[in-house]
Structures are given as C-alpha cells and as structure tokens.
Amino acid sequence: MIITIDGPAGAGKSTVARALARRLGFRFLDTGAMYRAVALAGLRHGVVWDRPEQLAELAGKVSLEVVAERIFLDGEDVSEAIRSTEVTAVTRHAADHPQIREHLVALQRAAAGSDDVVTEGRDQGTVVFPQAPCKIFLTAGAEERARRRVRDLQSQGESATLEDVLAAQQRRDRQDTDRPVGRLVPAADAVEVCTDGMSLEEVVDRLESLVRAGSGGETA
Ligand code: DC
C-alpha cells in the first residue's frame, strides 16, 4: 500500500512521513532527495545552469540509489551533502525539467515496488501514485514553516535570518506551484492537514487515524 504526502517546503513532510512510516512499519521514500541529488551532480560536474539539456543528460547518466532512507549518487552516500543551501538553491533546475521529472518518476515507482511505502514530495498523489488509496496534503502557515527551516539550518551549523528564509521560501513556493510539470497541487482525493500549532506526535496521530479509516483497518 502507498501513502502519499505532498505539500509545500517546510510543512514538515519528511519528519512526519518518516515517523508515520515507522509507526505503520512501512518504508519511507523522500523524493525531494532525488531532485536534490541530481542538482548536486550538476554542481559537481559544473553544468551550465542556463543550458538545461546538460543537466538532463547528466541525470540520465549518474546512478541514483535509495537504500534504507539514504541516497547514493554514483555509489557515494550524499544524504547530508544534498541538504546544503547551495544545493537547495539550484534544485529547481532539476525539478523544472520535464525529462528529468520523467526519469525520476520512473525511479520513484521502481523504488517503491510493491512494498508498503509512505512517500513524500510535491506530485506523489497527483502524478507518481495516482492510485494510492491514502493521500495527504500537508500544509502550515508561511511563518511557521520558515521558523522550522531556520531551526533546521541552525542545527546543521548554518546561520540564517527569518526574513531571508521567508523570502527564499516565497520564491520556492512560487516555483513549486508555477512549474508546468509536476506542480504542487493537492490531488482531488487528498485530505488536507494543516500542522500549525500541532506537535509532531499530534500530526502523526491524525495521519495514522486517516490511514486506518481510509484503508479499512488494512494496516492495523
Ligand atoms: O522537499 P524538498 O525541499 O527536499 O524538495 C527539493 C526540491 O525538489 C523542491 O524544489 C521541490 C522539488 N520536488 C519536486 O519538484 N517534486 C517532488 N516530488 C519532490 C521535490
């Protein structure tokens, strides 16, 4: 069974999806990590960002593997390297490219296989797994999302002001919703959950009850 969690940057999707997967005994798939890894490959190979075909060609050549919540680029574990501000800033070049999206959508479906998976991203319920029986659209207010991002960056040793993070977040929200392919939009059958003022535990409880209600207790 596939559970999809889509939503804007900073809504807490990764943390929530990982916790939900643990609770249900499902695997967790972080699809943003794949777009980030392609962007990291672009940085390392010195692609020219306004020549999108260069990144698309590279994306087809590199090896991307997801193993137990870690992501490997050409055999190297890049799970931490893909989280830098530098990678975040250029990831849109991977996410905006229709050919790269097609390639990563295929990899995401292959990575899920026929397992029980909680998958998170922007297009999981709309494009990648439209038949998923349980779809969540996770949101939070702009300020709350930005505050969480500042905390994350600080815990990684990067300094950031709330003002700068809010501005960058607004840009990313626009990029996510304006993208011609794989744009961020709730699936018609997704349940929207706003996490403002909720603890992680409360969000996971809410999602677990949605899953159990939607799947007729299949996962109980
Ligand atoms: O969730 P994240 O911040 O790790 O995602 C990184 C980037 O990849 C972000 O710009 C949105 C994009 N993305 C996407 O277009 N489709 C997905 N399924 C997941 C992420």
Ligand 1, closest atom to CA 92?
10
Question: Residue 42: CA atoms inside 13 Å, Cβ hemisphere, count?
Answer: 31
Q: Nearest CA to 136 among 216, 51, 195, 62?
A: 195
> By alpha-carbon position, which residue is closest to atom 2 of ligand 1?
32
Is the CB–ligand 1 distance for residue 120 below 6 Å?
no
SS3 159: coil
22-31 pLDDT tens trace: 999 999 999 9
Cα–Cα dist 106/141, whole Å: 32
- Can you give the pLDDT at residue 217? 44
Atom of ligand 1 nearest to the CA of 33: 4
Q: Which domains does the chain have, with CATH numbers?
A: 2-212 (3.40.50.300)
In whole angstroms, how far apart are CA 215 and each of 114, 132, 159, 210? 16, 10, 43, 8
Rounded to two decimals, the pTM is: 0.93
Q: Render pLDDT for 146-193 as a digit per residue (tens, 0 to 9).
A: 998 898 888 888 888 999 999 999 998 999 999 989 999 999 999 999
